[in-house]
Amino acid sequence: MNDNFDIGIIGGGPAGYTYALHASAQGKSVVLFEKDQIGGVCLNKGCIPTKSILHSSEVYKQTLNSENFGITAQNVTLDYSKVIERKNKTVETLRKGIELALKNAKVNVIHGEAQIQDKNTISLKPSPKIQALDANLKPNFNPLPEVEGIYYCSKIVCSTGSSPKIIKGLEFDHEFLLSSDDILNIASLPKSILIVGSGAIGVEWARIFNNFGVETTVVELAQHLLPLADTEVSKRLERIFKAEKIKFYTQTCVKEINNKKINLSNGETLEPDMVLVAVGRTPNITDKIEGVTYIGDVTGEIQLAHYAIKQAIEDIDGIKFKKELTPSVVYGTPEIAWVGKREQDLEPESYKKSLVLLSAIGKAHCDGQTDGFIKILSQNDKIVGAHIVSNEASSLIQQINVAMQNGVTVDKLKEVCFPHPTYSEGIYDALFKL
């Protein structure tokens, strides 16, 4: 077959751009189609913008509470437009970095909406924005196909991602009922907000709004907040939410909305200024085509950026990974992270458990952040799960993950020297309680 490219990739999010860069490093000719912006949801509407706004909200709250640390701050004011400006700058800087990396790797980036015709053919929908990133980057064996043309590729990778899930009765109107995309574009903060869903996205936004002083309420259908977490973690989060005065209802759903009045299944009526609906994401796919490789959120498997990246690397570089060891992180203060089995997944009596409270860790006291724990579950001297509610949990979990990935025994881990004073000492202490 007279292919134009070795590899055609649809979607320039973490899955797609990782695949493109790694394929190109192997000397393959690559064309990458992106209908919106390079970086995908993660960079433009997800991981990065939310963490940037979250950080601003934490700085604001810390400044207001700085007296606890011996610092008096007066006339503290919040300019939300500057928060958004900073977020936009962060996103742009990172996007430019990825675009440059793609350019340097000689990946042909085509801006436009692509469609898979068959396992070797991609067609491009007409779009005024269509342009090759660099007109000089033509493959040396065949000219770039015409705009709106057909692209023949030896292999096609579909990494078209996912979109906010729409549920009946809570369809987005983009003004009152907002998606996680819409919420990034609000010009000013509301006085009150209702967040439907307490997965990572719902919890992070609840923390952001609460930090900024917005009256925040969360509604969750499941028995506990953060339903995918270990139950002890969920319960601790509920305790933290109570302390932070974030109102929440579990085992509750929105029954109906009447003229911006929200009737809950428990009989209560709320009148928030706006509602964020964060109840999951739907893969951007219609029918799967045989012979095409699907990676990232579009697979509907674990919808996390690092999972998407690992799937790309597994396919192109052949580096296998243990999917069950994909870590989860929820950002905010304190961070929450886990990997492996939850306590509710294990048969009673079949495992050992150790739990170290942050109040036993020196660094937690120095930072004024003593609400949380490090919990490790083991079976036959091997760690099978870890659940952390602590500052730096996002990094701490990775120490345990490396051990789990490599089957390092608890006894062997005890040989490692952990620095003092750090949160990681909590991991070390936990090992001796197993």
Ligand X SMILES: Cc1cc2nc3c(=O)[nH]c(=O)nc-3n(C[C@H](O)[C@H](O)[C@H](O)COP(=O)(O)OP(=O)(O)OC[C@H]3O[C@@H](n4cnc5c(N)ncnc54)[C@H](O)[C@@H]3O)c2cc1C
Binding site for ligand X (CB under 6 A): 10-16, 33-36, 40-42, 45-47, 50, 113-114, 159-162, 180, 201, 284, 296-298, 303-306, 308
Pick the closer one to ligand X by CB: 127 or 370: 127
Both tokens of 11, joined, read: 């979607």
Shorter beta-carbon distance to ligand X: residue 299 or 369? 299
Write the DSSP string, 276-324.
EE-S-EEES-SS--TT-EE-GGGGSS---HHHHHHHHHHHHH-----GG
CB of 273 to ligand X, least distance (A): 20
Instruction: Report whether 127 contacts 111 (CB < 8 A).
Output: yes
Tokens, residue 292: 């095409």
* Helix or strand (DSSP H, E) at 155: strand 150-158
In the complex with ligand X, the residue whose CB is nearer, 304 or 361, is: 304
C-beta closer to ligand X: residue 144 or 346: 144
For residue 16, the minimal CB distance to ligand X (Å) is: 5
In angstroms, what is the minimal distance from the CB of 43 to ligand X? Answer: 7
Nearer Cβ to ligand X, position 277 or 358? 277
Kind and range of the H or E run holding 209? helix 200-211
Following DSSP, what letter does each residue of 164-208 receive, concatenated? EPP-TT----SSSEE-TTGGGG-SS--SEEEEE--SHHHHHHHHH
Q: Which single residue is written with the structure tokens 């601003």?
A: 56
Distances from the Cα of 70 to the Cαs of 13, 59, 74, 117, 308, in angstroms? 44, 16, 13, 65, 44
Count of other CB atoms within 10 angstroms of residue 286: 8
Q: Tell the smallest beta-carbon distance from residue 21 to ligand X (Å).
A: 13
Q: Considering beta carbons, is residue 226 or 431 the nearer one to ligand X? A: 226
Q: What residue type is 433 in one-letter code?
A: K
Cβ closest to ligand X, residue 45 vs residue 341? 45
Task: Name the token pair of 134.
Answer: 């660099």
Residue closer to ligand X by CB (options 331, 428) is 331
Report, in this order, helix, strand and coil percent for the chain, each rounded to 5. 35, 25, 40
Query: Is it true that the peptide bond before 421 is cis, omega within 30 degrees of 0?
Result: yes
Token pair for residue 271?
Answer: 């009148």
Q: How far is the CB of 84 from ligand X (least distance, A)?
A: 15
The nearest distance, CB 322 to ligand X, in angstroms, is: 17
- For residue 254, the minimal CB distance to ligand X (Å) is 20
Least distance from ligand X to the Cβ atom of residue 35, Å: 4
